[in-house]
Amino acid sequence: MKRIWIDAGKCDGCLNRTLACMNAHRADKGSIYDLDLTDPVNESRSFIRRQPDGSYRPIFCRHCDEPECVNSCMSGALSRNRKTGIVEYDEKRCAGCFMCVMNCPFGVLKPDTAARSRIIKCDFCKDSGSEPSCVKACPKKAIWIEEVQS
C-alpha cells in the first residue's frame, strides 16, 4: 500500500501542490494557466496551514489504517479499500451529515464550498494512473510516496 508522507520542515508554503490538486480535479481538464482560482468547484483536496512560528504544515488525508471518518459514516459513502489502503468516497451515497468531518482527528475532511452538500478529500489522484499531482508538484520534495505494510 502506498502512503503520502510529509516533512513539514521542508515546506515553504509555496502552494504548488495546492494548485496542482485543484488543476487535477477540475472538470474541464484545462491547463494550470487558465485555472480559475476563485471558482469554488476547483477547490483543493488538501491545504497548507501557517503555524504561529511562521512555518507551514501541509494537511491532507492520511488514508488511515483505522479511519475514523469511515467508522462514523452512516451512509457508507466512505470506505477503505483493503487492497490499496485508500479511503474512498462515493459522493452518490453521501447523506451530507458531515459526521466524517467532525470525526477526522487530523481536521482534513471538509464540506465543499460551492454547495456544502458533499465532502472534499484526497482521492490519491485515482484517475491519473500515477503518483498524486501534489507529490509531483512539490519543488522542495516535502511530500513523497512510500510503500507501507499494513
pLDDT truncated to tens, each residue of the chain (150 aa)?
A: 888 899 999 999 999 999 999 999 888 888 899 999 999 888 999 889 999 999 999 988 989 999 999 999 999 999 999 999 999 999 999 999 999 999 999 999 999 998 999 999 999 998 776 789 999 999 999 999 998 886
pLDDT, position 94: 97
pLDDT of residue 130: 76
Cell of 135: 507529490
Give the residue carrying C-alpha cell 513523497.
144
Rounded distance, CA 121 to CA 98, Å? Answer: 12
Q: Where are the beta strands (DSSP E) in 18-94?
A: 47-50, 56-59, 78-80, 87-89
Give 59's contacts (C-beta < 8 A, 6+ positions apart): 46, 47, 48, 49, 106, 107, 108
Predicted local distance difference test score (pLDDT) of residue 150:
63
